[in-house]
Amino acid sequence: MLERSELAENALASLHDEGYGKVFDPQNLNAQTMIFTGGREGQSLNGDWNFCVDLLDTGLRQKWFALSPLSAGERTEPWDYDPYDGETVPVPSCWQMLRDRWYFFEGSAWYTRAFDYHLPAGRRLFLRIGAAQYDCKVFLNGKFLGNHAGGSTPFCVELTAALEAGTNWVMLCVNNTRTSDRVPMKNTDWFNYGGVYRDVELFETSQTVIRDLFVRLSGGNICVSARIDGPATEATFKILALEVDATLQVSDGAAQATIPAQPDLWSPETPVLYDITLTAGEDRVSDRVGFRRIERRGTEIFLNGQPVFLRGISVHEDDERAGKVTTEADIRRRFSHARELGCNFLRLAHYPHHELAARIADEVGLMLWEEIPVYWAIDFANPATRRDAENQLRELIQRDRNRASVIIWSVGNENPDTDARLDFMKGLADRAKTEDPSRLTAAACLINHHSLAIEDRLAAHIDVIGINEYYGWYEQDFRDLQAIGKNSNPDRPVVISETGADGDHAAGPSTGLFSVTYQVEVYRRQIKILRGLDYVKGMTPWILYDFRTERRQGIYQRGFNRKGLITADKTTRKPAFEVLAAYYSELAGSTKD
Ligand code: GCU
């Protein structure tokens, strides 16, 4: 009789256990378990990881994470996959872009690698994953440490207790399956990439670790708040350039201070940044922070007390070759194209983009709208969906609220105006204000096409009303857009968060729908009407680049949404680019800026 291990017995029993997944979904890796990483020296775990797709979650059922690391020849029982051997993929990456057979793969995939670490006594070790689409379960040396839900926000997990001296094995089970209770849910107009597609790093800290640091201007003061985990009774906050050197008292892990200061103000024209540091016990973090004021009064948006018009464009995080992986060069190219368009603003749609985007926008002087993917028909009545949305919002805000470039947190896109949605989204907008009272809130709302007016009930609970309207494309009659302009009388600023038309530069017709000439006509007619609406204080037309989406397989789309002003190769401008650029140039030269 073949001697079977306990694991082998489990492998057989698991064939009849459909409850296998429950124990792996505590969602305990969340906003609360993040650590502040500004100024920390991390050890990168980027590079080749062993990898396999696992459509039926055989790995969780058979507990591949519990297999001991042995060479193939040492195995005494048959296994369906050996995580310590076989194919590798680079991290960061999206598996769809690596092998044709994985292009439409939706399910679990396993990443495994070893790392050596000697952790001195009294020190702590954290793993930080910049993003994994969508759910990520973390195992270290066979132990399940927890999971994170959300495909575009960073998360941390403490490894200290499960670390072994010498070689350690980390395994990630990433699942990008779309389900109706997720954020986003299963129907989106962008490609469902999967994988560990941002940086993976190790951070060693002292017993005391600064988990969060938020610095902002409020009136004539710099307000500092921090969350500190571990032994510390006080913390020291410094901005040498402003001769700020403040001691904060730590109570129950919290520290705050209000410090009178007159920093030079950050703006797109003067993107001034200050070096700040916070120390607590042996822990020390730093950041480069700009100070500015963003407010709305009536239908005006004010930056540092001056009215501003947001000359923007929408962008997805999408690349023809790299999928959702983005690099500093890709972000700088995106921003230089936006600058050539005459932009002072971008809408980073429809989910949190790479954290580098806001850091570079701080540096080059661009304002940003950031958002969470509460998109279309979210399951607004489901508490699990609400928990997911709220955590992703908190993680985004915690990650980027020291970034002067971020002026708007947006909580949703094109959601139906129902009671459940109103309650859900009002809750998110209120949460955003709680986490960060220094910025504006928004949502991309729909027009009431029956009354031809801006009437979304959510508008009363956000600072800026985003409006997605496609007159000239999905809605044919431009006279209706004129009527909407006249019928609407919002008491707060409106940003046209989407408008545009597809133009297939490579293979479209010479005129009519999907031609680049018709795209020009839509932009011309849109601008002609919108410029007359004095409550419109910004635009982010849809969209800078053509982008990948499964739902568009027509002869002029071929798996891409072609509303870009630049083609998917990010090099070829379409004629409509110049139409918008001309309008923005006129605005920049006029008082409307
Ligand atoms: C919607 C949606 C976008 C989508 C766009 C389009 O407004 O918000 O995500 O890509 O329309 O249809 O092109």
Q: Which two tokens stand for residue 141?
A: 């040396």
The torsion of the CA quartet 401, 406, 409, 415, rounded to 10 degrees, works out to: -140
pLDDT of 593? 45
- Are 300 and 292 in contact by the 8 Å Cβ rule? The answer is no
Please report, to the nearest 10 degrees, the dihedral formed by the alpha carbons of residues 310, 312, 317, 322 taken in order: -140
Model pLDDT, residue 592? 47
Task: Provide the angle, in degrees to the nearest 10, between the axes of the packed helices 516-530 and 478-487.
Answer: 20
The closest-lying atom of ligand 1 relative to the alpha carbon of residue 414 is: 8
**142 Cα to the center of ligand 1, angstroms:** 43
98 Rama sector, left if φ>0, alpha if ψ -120 to 50, beta otherwise: alpha
Question: 542, 548, 550, 552: which to mutate for ligand 1, most atoms within 8 A of CB?
Answer: 542
Candidate from 468, 514, 539, 549 with most ligand 1 atoms within 8 A of CB, to mutate: 468
Q: Is the CB of 498 under 6 A from ligand 1?
A: yes
Residue 348 is which amino acid?
A: L
CB atoms within 10 A of CB 375: 22
- CA dist 402 and 359 (Å) reads 9
Q: How far is CA 79 from CA 64, 303, 415, in A?
A: 9, 61, 46
Whether ligand 1 lies within 6 angstroms of the CB of 548 is answered as no
Beta bridge mates, 244:
239
Residue 115 CB-density burial (10 A; 0-12 exposed, 13-18 middle, 19+ buried): middle
279: exposed, middle or buried (C-beta count within 10 Å: 0-12, 13-18, 19+)?
middle
Ligand 1 contact, 410 CB (< 6 A): no
- Using most ligand atoms within 8 A of CB, pick from 191, 414, 548 the residue to mutate for ligand 1: 414
Cβ-contact 465, 459 below 8 angstroms:
yes
Distance from the alpha carbon of residue 472 to the mean position of ligand 1, in angstroms:
14
CA-based angle 323:325:329, to the nearest 5? 115
169 lines ligand 1 (CB under 6 A): no
Residue 591's pLDDT is what?
52
Which of ligand 1's atoms lies nearest the C-alpha of 350?
9
Separation between Cα atoms, residue 433 and residue 438, nearest integer Å: 8
546 Cβ inside 6 Å of ligand 1: no
Residues in the chain: 593
298 Cα–ligand 1 center, Å:
28
Q: Given the CA of residue 547, which atom of ligand 1 is nearest to it?
A: 10
Residue 561 beta carbon below 6 angstroms from any ligand 1 atom: yes
Q: Is the CB of 189 under 6 A from ligand 1?
A: yes
Ligand 1 atom with the shortest distance to the CA of 474: 12
Phi, psi of 401 (to 5 degrees): -75, 0
What's the CA-to-centroid distance between 189 and ligand 1, angstroms? 6
Distance of CA 395 to the CA centre of its chain: 9
CA of 338 to the centre of ligand 1 (A): 19
User: Which helix (H) or strand (E) covers residue 112, if one does?
Assistant: strand 108-117
* Ligand 1 atom 3: residue of nearest CA: 189
Global pTM?
A: 0.98
Mutate to test the pocket of ligand 1, among 187, 188, 561, 565 (most ligand atoms within 8 A of CB): 561
In tens digits, the chain (593 residues) has pLDDT values of 557 899 999 999 999 999 999 999 999 999 999 999 999 999 999 999 999 999 999 999 999 999 999 998 999 898 899 999 999 999 999 999 999 999 999 999 999 999 999 999 999 999 999 999 999 999 999 999 999 999 999 999 999 999 999 999 999 999 999 999 999 999 999 999 999 999 999 999 999 999 999 999 999 999 999 999 999 999 999 999 999 999 999 999 999 999 999 999 999 999 999 999 999 999 999 999 999 999 999 999 999 999 999 999 999 999 999 999 999 999 999 999 999 999 999 999 999 999 999 999 999 999 999 999 999 999 999 999 999 999 999 999 999 999 999 999 999 999 999 999 999 999 999 999 999 999 999 999 999 989 999 999 999 999 999 999 999 999 989 999 999 999 999 999 999 999 999 999 999 999 999 999 999 999 999 999 999 999 999 999 999 999 999 999 999 999 999 999 999 999 999 999 999 999 999 999 875 44
Q: Is 199 in the pocket of ligand 1 (CB under 6 A)?
A: no
Please answer whether residues 398 and 31 qualify as being in contact, where contact means their C-beta atoms are separated by less than 8 angstroms.
Answer: yes
- Amino acid, res. 198: R
Please state, in angstroms and rounded to a whole number, the distance separating the CA atoms of residues 43 and 127. 9
pLDDT for residue 4: 84
CB-ligand 1 contact for 414 (6 Å cutoff): yes
Strand-pair category, 494-498 with 536-539: parallel
Distance 146 CA to ligand 1 centre (A): 34
Dihedral pair phi/psi, residue 560, rounded to 5°? -130, 150
Report the separation in Å between the CA atom of 413 and the middle of ligand 1, taken as the mean of its atom positions.
9
Q: Which residue is associated with the tokens 């701080």?
A: 362
- What pLDDT is recorded for position 449? 87
DSSP 503: B
- Looking from the CA of residue 375, the nearest atom of ligand 1 is 8
Q: Give residue 17 CA to ligand 1 midpoint distance, Å.
A: 40
The finding on whether 468 has its CB within 6 A of some atom of ligand 1 is: yes
Q: Residue type for 274, please?
A: Y
Task: Check if 542 has its Cβ closer than 6 Å to any atom of ligand 1.
Answer: yes
CB of 295 closer than 6 angstroms to any ligand 1 atom: no
